[in-house]
Structure 1
Amino acid sequence: MSISSALTNAMTGLRAAGHTSETISANIANAMTPGYGVRTVALSSSEFGGVSIDGVTRNVDPALLGDRGLASAASNNASDRTEFLTNYEDFLGIADDPNSLASRIAQFESSLITAASRPDAPERLDSAVNAAKDLATLISTASKDIQDARSEADRNIELQINQLNSNLSSVQELNRQITRTTVLGGDTSALEDNRQALVDEISAIVPVRQIDRDNGQIALYSTGGAILLDGGTAEIEFTAANRVTAYMTKSGGQLSGLTINGYDARTGSENGRLGGGSLGAQFEIRDELGVEAQTQLDALARDIIERFQDPAVDSTLATGDAGLFTDDGAAFDSVNEVGISDRLGINVAVDKQEGGESWRLRDGINAVTQGDVGDARQLQALSETMLVNRTPASGDFGAGSFSLIGLASTLTSQLGATRGQAQQTQAFTSTQYNELNQLVLAEGVDTDQELQRLMLVEQTYAANARMIQAVDEMMQTILGL
């Protein structure tokens, strides 16, 4: 080996060692940076002698990252659904909760029995009226709670669509930058890190599959079949409502759906083009879970109103008159069933705060004057009608007939079963995501391994430096001759 060849080998070795140590330092510094891909310097023997730096390789597992993205979407979807169902179930309460729906019905029934034992006692009549008001208030508030959740879901859809469009545009721009940098022979690792972070954010909203294109670019397709990014980006549009009410549904045309590049896109939980992630969960809450919860609650409110507006229960009522429970002061009309739980209240005729008198609970809603204060037949009739088994005229309660407490228990049992299934799904998807995320993290920076590599680089650097020193000594000897 000539002196010039030895010097060339040593100089290229020093450059390679310096570049490698810089890359290792960057790896260690970004050990906790989300989305960071471990870098290694690719080296080879140069045809002119010495070491050639071929570039920097970003070491990631695309398949593992894709699976983690899908798991993230499923976990977010299950979490949002479970949160809605849990909040609603908590509001209606479990059977032994004194403020639950079942307990309010039981308290009202008990207050009627107590009043019937002393029909002449005004305080017992007042207590029964208050118990009826408490029951109506709980159901009305639960209805408002459902619509608040649907309204929040509608706002979340708008926010997530805006974020989705913004992230897709950013990924498209990074695609262009990566292509330019690749053509110029530069290092695209940092750009790819940024792009992967954006893809992870997109995957949490909509589950996507990533497809590699030429020159380092990628395309994104939703698992529902929508093209989100492939050269150009999809234009996704949605119009938020100011406030969602029980009368507003997507199927009825009062709420916005999605359009992709100007075409209507399915949003159902079973076949949504952008379903499966947090966006799909928000549509399901707004258009399916919330609507179903409202329908069941309206059916319960209808049953309550109809039980107490029956002239056979209160002889002072004529057909079409409002009974003890009313639809915003009126009798039940099947045309107006939607949202009836929100309007449920008690008849002003027995409400002292509205100028009524509680003795009408004993003598009849439409009674003009007090009757026999010792007559408990009307109170007993009100109590007995709560025990009558009736087939619900609406809602989905299965076959059979129910007492009032039985109907309420069926409603809460159905809700509990749905919530339980949602929690099981959430537990599975959360575990799956956590396991995949741990695998991704395991593929990340291993600081111990990086430090070992750095020690080897230091040895390489010292060896090449010693070679240069030896060449220098040889040159000095030659010049001294």
Structure 2
Amino acid sequence: MSLSAAMKTAQSSFSNVGLQSAVTSKNIANASNPNYARRAAILATATSGATVVETQRAQNEALLKQNLLSISKSSGQDTLLAGLTQMKMMMGGEDYEIAPSTYLAKLRDNLQTFADKPSEISLAETVVSDAIDVANSLNSTSNALQKLRAEADADIDTAVTELNRLLSEFKTYNDKVRLGTAAGTDVNDALDQRDKLLTEISGIVGVTAVNRTHNDLALYTSDGTVLFETVPRTVSFQPTTTFTAAVDGNQVLIDGVPVQAGAGGNTSAQGTIAALLQIRDYVAPTFQKQLDEVARGVIEVFSEGGVEGLFISNGLPAVTDPGLAAVIRVNPDVISSEGGSPTKLRDGINAVYNTGNNASFSDLLNGYTSAFEAPMSFDPDASIETTTTLLSFSTSSVGWLEEIRRAATTAGDDKAALLGRTQEALLNVTAVSLDEELALLLDLEQSYKASAKLVAAVDEMIAALLQAAG
């Protein structure tokens, strides 16, 4: 090897070590950054020895796609479970102690006691108090349910705004990647930011990324709607300010196509938007329908000859109209504090059935208790039994909620575990290992020392040559 060739080799080695050290230092500086993918300086053989030809970014397209899918599914499942848990808390939590079914059971038991002892006025007061508890429970649960729908609607609006912002930012980095790739410049930092935005987008809506020429990405939702293709597609939503049982929320449109709500306890929702739509448009309205059917049932059970008796619909045009549970109340004619008399429950509210003013008269009360145990027809839209007793129906309503919540809990655990494993596998490929980087720095130090020795040897040779030449 000539002295000039040796110097060129040493110079090339110094250059390589400098570039490799810069890459390694950047890796170490970003070791705790979850959105950073490890870099590696790739060497190739040249006339003067090895040379750095590119800085390669660690990645695995298959794991990235699986990670995006896992994030979407886990996000949707967690959102649904949070809504179902909130619905459970409306009725007292684990034991459902303030659920309508709990108060109905108490009303039924005390009504039977009153029917056995119709002369006990205190028992009449107790039954009326129990009836007020039933009405209040239906009112408060219905109102809380509509508040939940309003909150879900507001969260949808927030998610849509955030999604539009992320898509706009995604365009910025996608353009940098596309143009930089075409020009042959380093686009690794832009790729990191673009992948970070992708994970955030996937938490809001299920997304599929398609790689095109020059590393350009096109994004599609899980149902195939175009979300981003060169430019972001419009995501639009008009929020609703006030919800009642009769009010439907507006659709979320992506490029003019409605986003489909999730379905089932193990929800099909990918991302928060689809899960929020499921809560707002299916889960809460179905439970509202069940509450309305319970309210209709108690009105019918305590009616007198087809006329509302102990419970009244409080001005609602028809007991079959949505929102009955929110307005049902106890007839003031039996409430002492409102000028009524609880004995009317025994003797008749709309007409006098106890014509002899007999303290042991129990015909009406026995009729009520019998009606409690008699099968009734319920609306199939309530998604539980269509023919059963009132108390059984109200209990089944709680069972329906608990069943879907239990399924959501199990699915949430499964999807969270899958997400954890997927993220771990992806990090094993892309994350920075400090041990590996520090070991690489030691290797680079040895390469630098070897190059320095080569330069020193060449220097000594040249000096000796000049000395010999005189």
TM-score, length-normalised on structure 2? 0.91
Q: Give the drift of 1:398.
A: 5.6
1:112 maps to a residue whose letter is L
CA–CA distance in 1 between the matches of 2:97 and 2:204?
A: 39
Q: Give the drift of 1:75.
A: 1.1
Matches within 5 A, 1:433-472: 433-443=419-429, 444-472=431-459
Q: Choose the corresponding residue for 1:386, options 364, 368, 372.
A: 372
CA deviations 1:443-480 (Å, max 9, x no partner) are 22222222222211111111111112222222333333
Cα gap change, 1:457/1:397 in structure 2, threshold over 3 Å: closer, same or farther? Answer: closer
Cα gap change, 1:329/1:348 in structure 2, threshold over 3 Å: closer, same or farther? Answer: farther
Listed as ranges, the gaps of 5+ residues in structure 1 are 250-254, 312-318
Listed as ranges, the gaps of 5+ residues in structure 2 are none
In the other structure, the counterpart of 1:131 is 130
Matches within 5 A, 1:63-462: 63-92=62-91, 97-249=96-248, 255-261=249-255, 263-269=256-262, 276-311=270-305, 319=306, 321-328=307-314, 333-334=318-319, 336-366=320-350, 371-392=357-378, 395-396=381-382, 401-443=387-429, 444-462=431-449
On the 8 A contact 2:42/2:53 being kept in 1, the answer is yes
In the other structure, the counterpart of 1:315 is none
On the 8 A contact 1:349/1:366 being kept in 2, the answer is no
CA–CA distance in 2 between the matches of 1:109 and 1:455?
A: 81
Cα gap change, 1:94/1:390 in structure 2, threshold over 3 Å: closer, same or farther? Answer: farther
Percent sequence identity is 27
CA deviations 1:254-289 (Å, max 9, x no partner) are x3213333x34252436xxx9522111111111121
2:161 maps to a residue whose letter is N
On the 8 A contact 1:329/1:345 being kept in 2, the answer is no
Cα gap change, 1:277/1:55 in structure 2, threshold over 3 Å: closer, same or farther? Answer: same
- Which secondary structure state, in structure 2, belongs to the residue aligned with residue 41 of structure 1? strand
CA deviations 1:158-188 (Å, max 9, x no partner) are 1111111111111111112223433454321
On the 8 A contact 2:259/2:274 being kept in 1, the answer is no
CA–CA distance in 1 between the matches of 2:438 and 2:257?
A: 55
Larger mean Cα displacement after TM superposition, 20-29 or 192-201:
20-29
Q: Give the drift of 1:33.
A: 1.0
CA–CA distance in 2 between the matches of 1:231 and 1:142?
A: 47
On the 8 A contact 1:34/1:197 being kept in 2, the answer is no
2:260 maps to a residue whose letter is T
Cα gap change, 1:436/1:363 in structure 2, threshold over 3 Å: closer, same or farther? Answer: same
CA–CA distance in 1 between the matches of 2:312 and 2:324?
A: 9
Q: Give the drift of 1:118.
A: 4.1
2:449 maps to a residue whose letter is A
2:39 maps to a residue whose letter is R
Cα gap change, 1:35/1:94 in structure 2, threshold over 3 Å: closer, same or farther? Answer: closer
CA deviations 1:298-353 (Å, max 9, x no partner) are 11211111111142xxxxxxx4x3211111256x725x521111112111112234
For the aligned residue pairs, the C-alpha RMSD in angstroms reads 2.5
CA–CA distance in 2 between the matches of 1:396 and 1:80?
A: 23
Equivalent residues, number: 461
Cα gap change, 1:148/1:115 in structure 2, threshold over 3 Å: closer, same or farther? Answer: same
